[in-house]
Structure 1
């Protein structure tokens, strides 16, 4: 079977930037990663991860290009995970992040599953819309409410060293 995906760049402009691709369900997430980077004009040399997403695009389980874990928490790797392992009619959305310094972020959605067309090479770039900007769109990581930063309010004044419970000459 062939998966048809629409990959949309998360950007702040009014112009939509997306690519429609076809790829075999038996291909790996690394194959999808390579197809996305090539179709958007990246060289593919930066770190990247896919994240399983729900219908509201909330980030879930990670599928990483390389194993950066400390061995305690096992991470799924793109090269070892096929698309059909995690993507299907009930799970159609992924978030893809390329280059963690620039944070190119893409919304990847399974549009349909079709039969393989004879004579077509896969992966297949079906449609291109929009020009990729020279720099990644700015991301805002501010809390919606500054009170979100005060989850651990302890009424301590960091400037009041005399009343803090630590020995500053411990060494």
Structure 2
């Protein structure tokens, strides 16, 4: 059987690719198909994340074993597509390049018979141009939470006086005019 995916870039503009791949291929094969379909060089790692119907991010499935003990953590190569995705579980999230965080919604759109003579994976359709840089995600902290605790409330002008030039001039005989 062939799994047909729609892979959508998490961006304001519509940028997506439709990919056909064999059901027994692995998540690593899908990773390679996605980076090729979107024109990445493939030099950066990526991860898939399990997801529910509301696109909530679940467990990570990395490209490489990053566990403390080699072989302890399963990777993309350990998961055939049909072990993760089926008619009931159709959505996963893919993140490529953790510095830039290219994020994609990957949805299983159809399961069909393979076509004789076809080679898989196959890019079926491409829509939209890739932006020059990864779109910003709208991740933000709850502004009601004070990440500094009481530090910024208790720190006032009087406390800042300890950092003035006079305070440093007396330390070890150095002054701010002769650092060399």
**Structure 1 residue 157: deviation in Å?**
4.9
**Structure 1 residue 70: deviation in Å?**
2.2
- CA separation in 2, counterparts of 1:75 and 1:17? 32
**Structure 1 residue 148: deviation in Å?**
4.5
- Aligned partner of 1:17 in structure 2 is 15
- Say if 1:23 and 1:123, in contact at 8 Å, map to a contact too: yes
TM-score if structure 1 supplies the norm length? 0.82
Q: Provide structure 1 residue ranges, at least 5 long, that are not aligned to the other structure.
A: 161-171
Runs (4+) of structure 1 exceeding 3 A deviation are 156-160
- Say if 1:62 and 1:76, in contact at 8 Å, map to a contact too: no
Relative to structure 1, the CA distance from residue 71 to residue 157 in structure 2 (aligned partners, 3 Å threshold; closer, same or farther) is same
* Pairing partner for 1:147 from 144, 148, 156: 144
Q: Of the two, which has the highest radius of gyration?
A: 2
RMSD of aligned Cα (Å): 2.1
Q: Provide structure 2 residue ranges, at least 5 long, that are not aligned to the other structure.
A: 156-180
- Aligned partner of 1:37 in structure 2 is 35
- Aligned partner of 2:103 in structure 1 is 105
- CA separation in 2, counterparts of 1:56 and 1:77? 24
TM-score if structure 2 supplies the norm length? 0.78
- Say if 1:53 and 1:60, in contact at 8 Å, map to a contact too: yes
The number of equivalent residue pairs is 153
